[in-house]
Chains A and B, each alone.
Chain A
Amino acid sequence: MEWDKLLRVARWEVTKNAGGLDRRTVAVMALSLIAMGGVAAIAVGGGGAGLDDGLYRVGADDASPFYDVAAADGTFVVRDPDPAAVERGEQELLFRGTRLVSVPRTPKERAALDEFRSSTERYNDRTLARDDNQTAAFPVSVTLVYREQAGADVLDPREDGGAAGSDSDSDDGASGGGTGDGGGSDGGASAGGSGGSLGEAGGGGASLSGLGARLTGEVQGGTPSDISPPFPFESLVLAFLYIVPMNFVIQAYGSSMLSERLNRRGELLLVTPASRADIIAGKTLPYLLGAVGVATAITATLRFGGLAPGGSPIAVLAVVPLALLFLAATFCGAMFARSFKELTFVTVTITVSLTSYAFVPAIFTDITPIALISPLTLVVMDLTGQAISPSAFAFSTLPPLVTALVLFGLGAGLYREEDMFTQRPIPLKVLDALSGRIRSRRSAAKMSVVLLPFVVVAELVAIAFLFVLDSVSLNVFGTNQTLGVLLILGVVAVVEEVAKSLHVYAGYDAARYERTVRSALGLGALSGLGFFLAEKGLLIARLSDLESLSIGQAALQGRPRPPASRCGPSPCCSCSRRSSCTR
């Protein structure tokens, strides 16, 4: 690749397309950006907080220790304690001293209680963090519980809190800020549990590990249906802000790429000393820089405009693989499409698919570890001031990055005279793209490796879509399985078999292989071997908490985790951090 040619093509792409934009289009784009910025400012900034302001009304007198908690959190409005107001639905929570006297019945009251717990934890954390004696402020306590292992009561040692012999609530005490779990009382853990102390263990709500445990601990399922209001509006808006510009960018990029193919406009570039890689990279670079530039501008605006507590280059870096994935998918689509009409269909498909992949999980950044399959989750985490571990970053960004590179590679295989300008149906173009990489029998194994990133992404997306069914239990041959697990096993089987066989089919279709049974058996074995070796790449999934979910384990290890034991009033079940219970 020659950088001077690449940059020359990039400069040309910019000037050429700049000349093609009329003022009206520029005006519409500018207005869209301004509107987006406005929405972001409202949602994320003061306006965003304002949506929650005074959402819950708490009855507490100033003698109650919870008075200060409620007063310090704009989500709550402190009112004089009035049981009649609770009955009328004018107060969600009512405290007498340290005791919650109202019984949360409605969803809003339960949500208020959940939020109040979190608010109390934060308040305690803040208070304790100011203490001179930090050891005293965050003591470590260990509670040992000895239980018999017999019959149905045998606890799976892999279960959070299920190990016999010992247990630890240390984290509860530590991060919970001594909010009163008391080393075992689970009172507050059960949603809606009334009258209990507000000490649901766990703190550190931002911790993804903790979230994984929430999903597999006493909060059964952990699906979006379990989310108590308020809806994670902030995550939604932040993710939305970053995903929308991508769709503008790929529209322009797809049109530019397709216009090279229509009427053979791009033919003359192919006879210049610039290589295919120079041309493709040069034409892609402006759009990538555009997408990253917009992400940088949004991040900077949120950060320096005081609209978001966080925001660093990490947010921008996380956008790069996603932008590349959008562009790579569009590039392939533009190579496959035969007309602008068909390109529209292709880009809409790409928009819907990739937006689902990137946007939807990111909305639930604070809810589930599945959110980490999207790089946008990293963006939201970064903007909300949460720490991002290198493994989380790698888990979120590597699959889309590698998939993007593979897509560019496949599309580049079609970026030549005899494929660019032919009007073959899309399925045949896909086969062309695959068969173009097949040279020998060994290619069967090589292509299985090449296609693995698609498998990873497809399976992660499948997990994201199907985990909502993880709480639906079915009796299958006498065993208790969840619907999510059954479906994910089916999806995984289909995805992997297609990945192992599609390129072999393409090879036969292009007459690269001899059509004999012996040849087919040999190619099948080679393809399977390549896939087996490359599948070790799936280890990347272990970087996440996905295996804490039975559906994740089913997808990634091929076996479902036994259903989690129902939580009883065991001290262990008060753990909200998996790490606190893992031996």
Chain B
Amino acid sequence: MIDARDLRKEYGDFVAVRGSSFTVDRGEVFGIIGPNGAGKTTTLKMLAGLLDPTSGEATIAGYDTETTEMRRRLGFLPEESPLYEEMTPLSYLDFFADLYDVDPDVADERTHETLDELDLEHRDRKLGDMSKGMKRKVAIARSLINDPDVLIYDEPASGLDPLTTNYVIEFTEQLAAEGKTIVFSAHNLFHVESICDRVAIMNEGDIVARGDLAALQDEYGETRYHVYTTVDVPDATRVNGNYERVVESMAAVEETREAAQAAGGEVVDIRTEESSLEEVFLNVADAGTRGTRYVGEDAT
């Protein structure tokens, strides 16, 4: 559905994106993560046709990103989407529906349906009088007014309170479940981890790693073993009447078992813990690599 090939963006001497390549299949949720200034937003804007790539190209549903046909199939939500504050949600959505050539009756039905799902009340109130969370919901409704096949969401929950954030993330998950193809960026890696099938990690304009989450964890993450013993062993802490030692290899687990037995005790439980995406991300960032490392299915 989305095919980006060597997207590069330069501003004079500054290179914002060094050559991003990735594909996103229909119905897939693809996350782009990275620190500030990594090139995430620039990449998303090149995909949305807002920025002309210095080199490289991208297509959405087979259409070049500069074409009107592509725009008809796209719903874009920028990180900040200031609305026309003199308008009401209904007039605002009606205006955009018109620009997308949505039949007025269909638009009306879709508007109310989406606002119902987003639990947005006070639809005749001016946007300028609404809270940030309510405005964000209107912006999300706008991105859906043309019933797009592809959604590009840049930090959809940015700056929202936790309640609204959860609401927005759940709604995005719901859209993904409905089969929308979504490209999603977020600072909060928990959100990415919870809804994305695959992830690209960007740093300083490069996609430094790309793949499905499990493969990324295998490659860049760590598996930690929490070994619980009945007796004290080196580096253990007391937890609920037992002693817990956290180690990072099976050899260390075996070593802990032997230490416990030597002390007259035994191992009562071993639990494994995978690295979070946040840790994966930090590991990738620490590696400071150039060029993309493909993992999992992306490696093939």
Pick the interface stretch among A11-19, A75-83, A116-124, A347-355. Answer: A11-19
Q: A303: CB under 8 A from chain B?
A: no
Interface centre among B49, B51, B84, B101 (most CB of A within 10 A): B84
Pick the interface stretch among A245-253, A260-268, A463-471. Answer: A260-268
In the assembled complex, the CB of A127 is this many whole angstroms from the nearest CB of chain B, namely 64
Q: B198: CB under 8 A from chain A?
A: no
**Residues of chain A with a CB closer than 8 A to B289's CB:** none
Q: How far is the CA of A8 from the CA of B99 in the complex (A)?
A: 7
Once the chains bind, are B86 and A19 in contact (CB under 8 Å)? yes
Q: B91: CB under 8 A from chain A?
A: yes
Chain B stretch 49-80: residues in CB contact (< 8 A) with chain A: 49-52, 68, 71-72, 74, 76, 78, 80
Pick the interface stretch among A186-194, A271-279, A362-370, A545-553. Answer: A271-279
**Residues of chain B with a CB closer than 8 A to A268's CB:** 76, 78, 81, 96, 142
Q: How far is the CA of A264 from the CA of B11 in the complex (A)?
A: 19
In the assembled complex, the CB of A424 is this many whole angstroms from the nearest CB of chain B, namely 11
Once the chains bind, are B80 and A263 in contact (CB under 8 Å)? yes
Once the chains bind, are B99 and A511 in contact (CB under 8 Å)? no
In the assembled complex, the CB of A445 is this many whole angstroms from the nearest CB of chain B, namely 24
Q: How far is the CA of A209 from the CA of B233 in the complex (A)?
A: 112
Given known A263-B80, A267-B50, A417-B51, contact A274–B99 (CB-CB < 8 A): yes
Q: How far is the CA of A5 from the CA of B97 in the complex (A)?
A: 11
Once the chains bind, are A273 and B72 in contact (CB under 8 Å)? yes
Once the chains bind, are B87 and A16 in contact (CB under 8 Å)? yes
Q: How far is the CA of A265 from the CA of B101 in the complex (A)?
A: 21
Given known A8-B95, A274-B99, contact A20–B86 (CB-CB < 8 A): yes
Chain B residue, CB-CB nearest to A17: B86
Q: A153: CB under 8 A from chain B?
A: no
Q: B48: CB under 8 A from chain A?
A: yes
**Residues of chain A with a CB closer than 8 A to B80's CB:** 263-264
In the assembled complex, the CB of B185 is this many whole angstroms from the nearest CB of chain A, namely 16
Residue in B71, B81, B142 whose CB lies within 8 Å of A273 = B71
Q: A132: CB under 8 A from chain B?
A: no
Once the chains bind, are A271 and B82 in contact (CB under 8 Å)? no
Once the chains bind, are B84 and A267 in contact (CB under 8 Å)? no
Q: B220: CB under 8 A from chain A?
A: no
Interface centre among B78, B81, B95 (most CB of A within 10 A): B95
Interface centre among A263, A265, A268 (most CB of B within 10 A): A268
Chain A stretch 11-44: residues in CB contact (< 8 A) with chain B: 12, 15-17, 19-20
Q: A514: CB under 8 A from chain B?
A: no
**Residues of chain A with a CB closer than 8 A to B98's CB:** 8
Once the chains bind, are A273 and B87 in contact (CB under 8 Å)? no
DSSP majority for the A interface?
A: helix
Q: How far is the CA of A12 from the CA of B92 in the complex (A)?
A: 9
**Residues of chain B with a CB closer than 8 A to A8's CB:** 95, 98-99
**Residues of chain B with a CB closer than 8 A to A418's CB:** 11, 51-52
Once the chains bind, are B82 and A264 in contact (CB under 8 Å)? yes
In the assembled complex, the CB of B155 is this many whole angstroms from the nearest CB of chain A, namely 13
Once the chains bind, are B91 and A271 in contact (CB under 8 Å)? no
Given known A16-B84, A265-B84, A267-B50, contact A273–B99 (CB-CB < 8 A): yes
Chain A residue, CB-CB nearest to B78: A267
In the assembled complex, the CB of A35 is this many whole angstroms from the nearest CB of chain B, namely 28
Residue in A5, A19, A267 whose CB lies within 8 Å of B87 = A19
**Residues of chain B with a CB closer than 8 A to A12's CB:** 95
Q: How far is the CA of A15 from the CA of B86 in the complex (A)?
A: 9
Given known A15-B91, A267-B50, A267-B78, contact A272–B99 (CB-CB < 8 A): yes
Once the chains bind, are A16 and B76 in contact (CB under 8 Å)? no
Q: How far is the CA of A19 from the CA of B80 in the complex (A)?
A: 23
Given known A16-B84, A16-B87, A17-B86, contact A271–B99 (CB-CB < 8 A): no
Q: How far is the CA of A270 from the CA of B98 in the complex (A)?
A: 14
Chain B stretch 108-154: residues in CB contact (< 8 A) with chain A: 126, 142
Q: How far is the CA of A418 from the CA of B42 in the complex (A)?
A: 10
**Residues of chain A with a CB closer than 8 A to B74's CB:** 271
Q: B5: CB under 8 A from chain A?
A: no
Q: How far is the CA of A12 from the CA of B91 in the complex (A)?
A: 9
Q: B226: CB under 8 A from chain A?
A: no
Chain B residue, CB-CB nearest to A282: B99
Chain A residue, CB-CB nearest to B126: A19
**Residues of chain B with a CB closer than 8 A to A265's CB:** 82-84
Chain A stretch 406-430: residues in CB contact (< 8 A) with chain B: 416-418
Residue in A19, A269, A271, A416 whose CB lies within 8 Å of B48 = A271
Q: How far is the CA of A274 from the CA of B91 in the complex (A)?
A: 18
Q: B162: CB under 8 A from chain A?
A: no
Once the chains bind, are A417 and B82 in contact (CB under 8 Å)? no
Q: How far is the CA of A268 from the CA of B52 in the complex (A)?
A: 16
Q: B12: CB under 8 A from chain A?
A: yes
Once the chains bind, are B76 and A417 in contact (CB under 8 Å)? no
Chain B residue, CB-CB nearest to A265: B82
Once the chains bind, are B76 and A271 in contact (CB under 8 Å)? yes
**Residues of chain B with a CB closer than 8 A to A273's CB:** 68, 71-72, 99-101
**Residues of chain B with a CB closer than 8 A to A264's CB:** 78, 80-82
Q: How far is the CA of A12 from the CA of B78 in the complex (A)?
A: 22
Q: How far is the CA of A416 from the CA of B45 in the complex (A)?
A: 12
Chain A residue, CB-CB nearest to B75: A271
In the assembled complex, the CB of A411 is this many whole angstroms from the nearest CB of chain B, namely 18
Apart from A8-B99, A263-B82, what are 8 other A-B pairs with CB-CB below 8 Å?
A19-B86, A267-B50, A267-B78, A269-B99, A272-B96, A274-B99, A416-B52, A417-B50
Contact residues of A with B, CB < 8 Å? 5, 8-9, 12, 15-17, 19-20, 263-265, 267-275, 416-418, 511
A-B pairs, 10 with minimum CB distance: A19-B86, A263-B82, A417-B50, A272-B99, A273-B68, A271-B76, A20-B86, A265-B82, A273-B71, A8-B98
Contact residues of B with A, CB < 8 Å? 11-12, 45, 48-52, 68, 71-72, 74, 76, 78, 80-84, 86-87, 91, 95-96, 98-101, 126, 142
**What are 17 A-B pairs at a CB distance below 8 A?**
A8-B99, A12-B95, A15-B91, A17-B86, A264-B78, A264-B80, A264-B81, A264-B82, A267-B78, A268-B76, A268-B81, A268-B96, A270-B50, A271-B71, A271-B76, A273-B71, A416-B52
